[in-house]
C-alpha cells in the first residue's frame, strides 16, 4: 500500500489519443491494494485498453460488488461514474444500468468470491440474458479482505497459507460462461500484459456478454507453494491457445503470418479480431469443441488462456427486448405518458 499521492500535472509531451486524452486521463486514485497485487496490473490493462481504443472516459460506467477486486474501479477511469454495490450483486445493478442507457460502455469488475460464491446466480443470469458488458473476474482463489479463506474457485487439493488442503471441487467460471451462452469468453493472467490488454480491447468491442477470467495472484494470502493461483504456478502451467492481435477495420494488415497460423474473426461493427494460433486446430468459434478442449486440458493440469470462445454476431439484451435506440432514461413525458385522452378511453372500457 502506498501513501504517496499521484502528481496531478501531466507532462505536456504525453501522447494523446484521437479523442484528445493522455493515458494518465484514464487513471484513477492511487491503489490501496497490497504492493504486487495482481489486481493493479488488471487496472493498468483496463487503462491501457481504453486509451488505445480512444474511448472517452466519461462514456464508461464501471460497476463492482464487494471485495479487493471490487475496490479497484476507484483506481482506474477517474472520470467515469462508478458504483460499488453490494456483495455478489454487481450483475443485476449493471443489467439495470445498461437497460437505462444503452449508449454507455459497461465494465463489471468482480472477484472469485463475489462471482463464484455469493454472486453465482447473478453472474449466471446476466450472462444468460446477453447483457452487453465486459465482465472481468479478478480471480485469486481466496478471500483477501477477510484474511485468506478459500474461495469457490480454489482448486481441489490446493493449500491455504496455513497449510490446509481444499477438499471442495473448484467452480469452473469459464465452463459455466460457455454453457450459459456468453458470446465472448477469455482467460488471462494478470502477469501477462501482452495477452491481457488486447483481450480487454476485444471484449470492449464485442457486443454481448463478454466474460474474462483473469487469474490474479494474491500476494498476501495465496502466493505460496501449494497454491494453484500463485505467480509461479500460473507461469508454469499457463498454456495459451492463441495470441490476439486486435485490429480495427480501417487498419491494413501488414504483419507477416505463416499460412494457416491465423484466424480472423469479423466483429459486429466491422472490426476484425486476428488471432495467432498457438495451439494448432483450436477454433474459438466452435463452442462444443472449445468446451471439450478446455475440459481435456484442465484434466491434464493446464491453465488454458487466450480468447477461448467468440460468437461475433451475438445479439444483446436490448435486441432481445426490442428496445428503442434512444436511452430509456432520456425519454420524456412526450414519449412515455399516454395522456388524458387515452385515459378517458381506458376509463370508458372499464365501465
| Gap between the Cα atoms of 303 and 318, Å rounded | 34
Among 58, 147, 156, 235, binds other proteins (CB under 8 A): 58
Please say which residue, 107 or 186, places its beta carbon nearer to other proteins: 107
| Gap between the Cα atoms of 275 and 265, Å rounded | 8
Please say which residue, 14 or 342, places its beta carbon nearer to other proteins: 342
Residue 333 makes contact with other proteins by CB under 8 A: yes
CA angle 314, 106, 150 (to 5 degrees): 95
Residue 336 makes contact with other proteins by CB under 8 A: yes
| Shortest Å distance, C-beta 179 to other proteins | 16
CA torsion sign for 220, 223, 228, 234 is positive
DSSP code, position 328: G
94 backbone dihedrals φ, ψ, rounded to 5°: -65, -40
Residue 253 makes contact with other proteins by CB under 8 A: no
Among 47, 63, 209, 215, binds other proteins (CB under 8 A): 63
C-beta separation of 96 from 329 below 8 A:
no
Mind giving me the DSSP string for 121-179?
HHHHHHHHHT-SEEEEEEE-SEETTTTSEE-TTSPTT-B-TTSPBP-SPPP-HHHHHHH
| Gap between the Cα atoms of 263 and 271, Å rounded | 14
Residue 43 makes contact with other proteins by CB under 8 A: no
Contacts to other proteins from residues 96-135, by CB under 8 A: 96-101, 103-104, 121-122, 124-125, 129
Pairing of strands 184-189, 133-139: unpaired
C-beta separation of 303 from 187 below 8 A:
yes
- Compute CA distances 19 → 15, 26, 50, 58, 163, whole Å: 11, 12, 11, 12, 51
| Shortest Å distance, C-beta 30 to other proteins | 11
- Looking at 2-10, 89-97, 228-236, 246-254, which segment touches other proteins (CB under 8 A)? 89-97
- Supply 97's cell numbers: 444500468
Please say which residue, 279 or 328, places its beta carbon nearer to other proteins: 328
C-beta separation of 285 from 293 below 8 A:
no
How big is the site for other proteins, counted in residues (CB under 8 A)? 61
| Shortest Å distance, C-beta 329 to other proteins | 3
Please say which residue, 29 or 292, places its beta carbon nearer to other proteins: 29
| Shortest Å distance, C-beta 101 to other proteins | 5
| Shortest Å distance, C-beta 267 to other proteins | 23
Residue 86 makes contact with other proteins by CB under 8 A: yes
Please say which residue, 167 or 332, places its beta carbon nearer to other proteins: 332
- Supply 192's cell numbers: 501477462
Site string for other proteins, 293-332 (x = CB under 8 A): -------------------------x--xxxxx-xxxxxx
Please say which residue, 76 or 211, places its beta carbon nearer to other proteins: 76
| Gap between the Cα atoms of 142 and 163, Å rounded | 14
Give the other-Cβ count within 10 Å of 115's Cβ.
33
Among 52, 56, 239, 302, binds other proteins (CB under 8 A): 56
Binding site for other proteins (CB under 8 A): 56-59, 61, 63, 73-74, 78-86, 89, 91-101, 103-104, 121-122, 124-125, 129, 318, 321-325, 327-333, 335-340, 342-343, 346-347, 350-351
Amino acid at each position: 500500500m502506498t501513501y504517496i499521492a499521484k502528481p496531478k500535472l501531466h507532462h505536456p509531451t504525453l501522447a494523446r489519443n484521437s479523442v484528445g486524452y493522455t493515458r494518465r486521463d484514464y487513471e484513477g486514485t492511487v491503489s490501496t491494494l497490497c504492493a504486487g497485487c495482481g489486481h493493479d496490473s488488471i487496472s493498468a490493462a483496463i487503462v491501457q485498453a481504453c486509451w488505445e481504443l480512444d474511448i472517452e472516459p466519461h462514456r464508461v460506467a464501471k460497476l463492482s460488488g464487494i471485495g479487493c477486486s471490487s475496490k479497484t474501479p476507484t483506481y482506474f477511469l477517474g472520470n467515469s461514474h462508478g458504483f460499488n454495490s453490494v456483495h455478489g450483486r454487481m450483475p443485476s445493478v449493471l443489467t439495470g444500468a445498461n437497460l437505462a442507457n444503452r449508449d454507455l460502455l459497461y465494465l463489471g469488475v468482480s472477484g472469485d468470491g463475489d462471482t463464484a460464491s455469493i454472486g453465482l446466480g447473478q453472474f449466471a443470469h446476466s450472462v444468460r440474458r446477453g447483457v452487453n458488458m465486459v465482465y472481468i473476474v479478478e480471480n485469486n482463489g481466496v478471500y483477501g479482505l477477510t484474511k485468506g479463506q478459500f474461495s469457490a474457485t480454489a482448486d481441489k487439493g490446493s493449500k491455504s497459507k496455513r497449510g490446509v488442503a481444499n477438499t471442495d471441487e473448484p467452480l469452473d467460471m469459464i465452463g459455466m460462461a460457455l454453457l450459459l451462452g456468453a458470446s465472448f469468453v477469455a482467460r488471462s493472467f494478470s502477469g501477462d500484459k501482452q495477452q491481457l490488454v488486447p483481450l480487454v480491447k476485444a471484449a470492449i468491442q464485442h457486443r454481448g456478454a463478454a466474460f474474462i477470467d483473469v487469474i490474479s495472484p494474491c500476494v498476501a494470502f495465496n502466493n505460496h507453494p501449494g497454491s494453484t493461483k500463485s505467480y509461479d504456478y500460473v507461469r508454469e502451467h499457463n498454456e495459451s491457445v492463441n495470441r490476439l492481435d486486435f485490429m480495427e477495420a480501417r487498419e491494413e494488415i501488414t504483419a507477416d503470418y505463416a499460412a494457416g497460423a491465423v484466424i480472423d474473426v469479423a466483429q459486429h461493427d466491422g472490426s476484425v479480431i486476428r488471432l495467432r494460433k498457438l495451439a494448432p486446430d483450436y477454433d474459438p468459434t466452435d463452442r462444443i469443441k472449445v468446451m471439450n478442449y478446455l475440459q481435456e486440458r484442465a484434466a491434464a493440469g493446464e491453465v488454458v488462456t487466450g480468447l477461448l470462445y467468440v460468437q461475433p454476431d451475438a445479439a444483446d439484451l436490448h435486441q432481445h427486448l426490442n428496445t428503442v435506440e434512444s436511452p430509456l432514461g432520456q425519454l420524456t413525458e412526450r414519449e412515455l405518458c399516454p395522456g388524458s385522452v387515452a385515459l378517458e378511453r381506458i376509463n370508458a372500457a372499464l365501465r
